Amino acid sequence: MLRLGVNIDHVATIRNARGTPWPDPLRAAQLAEEAGADGITAHLREDRRHISDADIDALMAGLRLPLNLEMAATAEMQTIALRHRPHAICVVPEKREERTTEGGLDVAGNEAALGRYIAPLREMGSRVSLFISHEQRQIEAAARIGAAVVELHTGAYCDYDTEGRHDKRDAELAALREGAARAHDLGLEVHAGHGLTFDTVASIAAIPQIMELNIGHFLISESVFVGLDGAIREMRRRMDAARA
C-alpha cells in the first residue's frame, strides 16, 4: 500500500502569522489521522519559522501516527532528534533565505560528513531518509552511507506541469522513474514529495517502487475550501486510484 505522510508545517505558518495558539498543528495531525494519513511530517527549521520546539514536544507526546522529523544536518538538530527519538528522520538541505526547500542534498559531495552525521541517528533506531534529486550519483551515495530511505524531490516535475512545459515535465517524470528503480535495486526504500497536488500526484503515485508520498502545502491550502478532512481524503483517493 502506498502511504501518505501529511506535512503540517503550514498550519504552524498560519498560527505564527498572528502569534496566537491557533490553528494547532497537533490538532491538524490528529485530524489527518482520522482522514486516512499514515504518518505526520514536520520540519523543524533552524530559524523556527513555522514548527517550533514546543510543537515537536506536543507531537511526540500526542501522536499515535509515526512522526517524520525533517531537519537540516546541524549539530543542534541532531541533538534534538537524539532526545526525541522519532520514528523517522528526513535530512534535508536548508537555507535561511529560501521560501521552501529548493533542491536535494548533495550526498555525493558530502559523503563522509553525512555518513558520520546519520550514524548515531541510525543507531538509536530512527529510519533515516535523505531528501535528494533523482540523480544516480546521489542515490548511490545515499546507499553507501547507510541511509534506509531516500525521498526523491518532485518539485521540478510539479513546477514544469504548472508552467505548461510538458516536454520537460515528461522528461523529469522519466528520470524520477529511473531514480526510483535504481534506489530500489540498491535496497533503499523510496519516498517522494514536494509540490504535489491533485493534478500531479497520480503519475508519481503510479511509480511502483515508491512506498510513501509526503505532501503538505497543497493539502493545507486546499483545506481552506474543503476542510482538511476533505483534502486528505481526496488526495488519498487519487493516490489509491493511480496505484491500482
Which residues are known catalytic residues?
43, 70, 194
Look up cell 526510483; give the residue.
180
Q: What is the C-alpha to C-alpha distance for residues 119 and 116, in angstroms, rounded to an integer? A: 5
Q: What is the C-alpha to C-alpha distance for residues 100 and 195, in angstroms, rounded to an integer? A: 10
Find the helix or strand (DSSP H, E) in which 149 lies. Answer: strand 149-153
Which residues, at least 6 apart from 213, have a Cβ–Cβ distance to it below 8 Å?
A: 2, 3, 4, 5, 191, 192, 193, 196, 201, 204, 205, 239
Q: Please say whether the beta carbons of 10 and 45 come within 8 A.
A: no
Residue 149 β-bridge partners: 129, 189
Q: Please say whether the beta carbons of 62 and 36 come within 8 A.
A: no
Reduced to 3 states (helix: H, G, I; strand: E, B; else coil), residue 129 is strand
Q: What are phi and psi of 220, to 5 degrees?
A: -70, -40
Q: What is the C-alpha to C-alpha distance for residues 232 and 32, in angstroms, rounded to an integer? A: 7
Q: What is the C-alpha to C-alpha distance for residues 50 and 16, in angstroms, rounded to an integer? A: 7
In sign, the C-alpha dihedral spanning 91, 95, 97, 100 is: negative
Number of C-beta neighbours around residue 38 at 10 A: 17
